[in-house]
Chains A and B, each alone.
Chain A
């Protein structure tokens, strides 16, 4: 099995982890909605712990993905795209991979600074990253908000690019990320 990406194709690991990240993000967002609607404190805490677990998985996977992204070649673009679009799309993809490492750290730091533990299912917890400090939490939260806004803007561009390639340009860019072998 091809373990790393190269200029001709994605590794199956890259394809699987890409969709693991997508599902983790959707799960975290879905859990956030459920936490807001939880009827009991016990139920809310179990959902928070599950959300923390998803965040931890996302964080660990993202560390690998970011390392793999910057240390391996990337498959050539499909078709004959505008070079500037290639530069932008690749920069956005790298920035998203980096954001998914940094944003969980920011959440971890924020909760630590607020004196909240990061509990996990089964009674486990992640140790605090920072001492309790309200001023520090405020700074971390501002940084998180900036990072999250940039992340969402980048994600919107990323999704737009994928849909544009699939529906407008009708090429195999999206199918390639779904595991289809595309001969270049």
Chain B
């Protein structure tokens, strides 16, 4: 049966990663676990497992659990900030063996020259998250397939996070040598996606908005704080955050309790943590937090974000696989360079 369908036609990112939409889940440590990653992947986006702080055995288990929940592509984010180079290498070995579709790297400049070629030789797509043009140039020189322009609006850790997404994205696009560039920072809905795609982004990376989803591994009180917070409520910090080198920039909803020493620590609270963790820590969140008003299924969040993608109207016979549809529609489009 023929039907008229409005859908995203696909672009370099969807082709490279084999997904329907260029909507990426941020690989948030302990929060982006198998249920959330699989939910995003099943909704057509690209889920990314938060590998930071996961011992190698646990990382392997999380990848396998994600595979059990979805047959769609997904990625793994690694950060060499916890446990040192030996842990990082062991995690990397797990990734090489398990072969998720994508390896996402953050704060890994010192290792990437060696790791990116090894990952690519193993058939992985490599994405590097950067917060400055200089870091983007390094990532490009080291062979990254995808660059993430992480604006200072982003929650959690930043590198170095002093440039807003609009100037950062356009500046990185100017040096990207044709590589797709994703935008990150303060993106929570379709309007944000539309704005950044119109500036040249090939897709988006979303973190905070996915914390407030049913499948996220965040503590219910953490989700509640995200829902209740306003745009004015986040703060850029360079103090201590759990597991990171002192001084690493990060954005949090600061805890203001006067006699609470834990308020000086940035962190996330997992569902398995005691409620006081969520009550006392300053919790990671981006500046888009004021636009998140409820905890919803991750698929609903993806669907909302997708409304900002450029849609094509096409008469589609039957309901073919999205990858086929994407390639077909892409062939009809005028090449746009960055797309």
A76, B82: Cβ atoms under 8 Å? yes
A80, B272: Cβ atoms under 8 Å? yes
Residues of the A chain whose Cβ atoms lie less than 8 Å from the Cβ of B174: none
B87, A7: Cβ atoms under 8 Å? yes
* Set B84, B86, B87, B277: member contacting A82, Cβ < 8 A: B277
Cα-based distance from A182 to B279 in the complex (angstroms): 33
B83, A7: Cβ atoms under 8 Å? yes
Majority DSSP secondary structure for residues of B touching A:
mixed
Cα-based distance from A184 to B86 in the complex (angstroms): 12
Residues of the A chain whose Cβ atoms lie less than 8 Å from the Cβ of B90: 8, 184
Instruction: List the A residue with the shortest CB-CB distance to B84.
Output: A73
Instruction: List the A residue with the shortest CB-CB distance to B274.
Output: A82
> With an 8 A cutoff between CB atoms, is B288 at the interface?
no
> With an 8 A cutoff between CB atoms, is B57 at the interface?
yes
Contact A83:B243 (CB < 8 A) given known A76-B55, A184-B56, A184-B57: yes
Instruction: List the A residue with the shortest CB-CB distance to B240.
Output: A87
B277, A184: Cβ atoms under 8 Å? no
Instruction: List the A residue with the shortest CB-CB distance to B273.
Output: A82
Residues of the A chain whose Cβ atoms lie less than 8 Å from the Cβ of B57: 183-184
Cα-based distance from A163 to B55 in the complex (angstroms): 23
Q: How many residues of B contact A (CB 8 A)?
A: 22
Residues of the A chain whose Cβ atoms lie less than 8 Å from the Cβ of B83: 6-8, 73, 75-76
Contact A83:B242 (CB < 8 A) given known A7-B84, A8-B83, A73-B86: yes
Instruction: List the B residue with the shortest CB-CB distance to A73.
Output: B84
CB distance from B243 to the nearest CB of A (A): 7
* Set B55, B84, B273, B277: member contacting A6, Cβ < 8 A: B84
> With an 8 A cutoff between CB atoms, is A168 at the interface?
no
Residues of the B chain whose Cβ atoms lie less than 8 Å from the Cβ of A83: 242-243, 267, 273, 277
Subset of 11 A-B contacts with CB under 8 Å: A6-B86, A6-B87, A7-B87, A8-B86, A73-B87, A76-B55, A76-B83, A82-B273, A84-B277, A87-B242, A184-B56
Residues of B at the A interface (CB closer than 8 Å) are 53, 55-57, 82-88, 90, 242-243, 262, 265, 267, 270, 272-274, 277
Besides the contacts A76-B53, A76-B55, A87-B242, what 14 more A-B pairs have beta carbons closer than 8 Å?
A6-B87, A7-B84, A8-B56, A8-B86, A8-B87, A8-B90, A73-B86, A75-B83, A76-B87, A80-B270, A82-B277, A83-B243, A83-B277, A84-B262
Closest 8 CB pairs of A and B: A7-B83, A73-B84, A7-B87, A184-B55, A6-B86, A7-B84, A83-B242, A7-B86
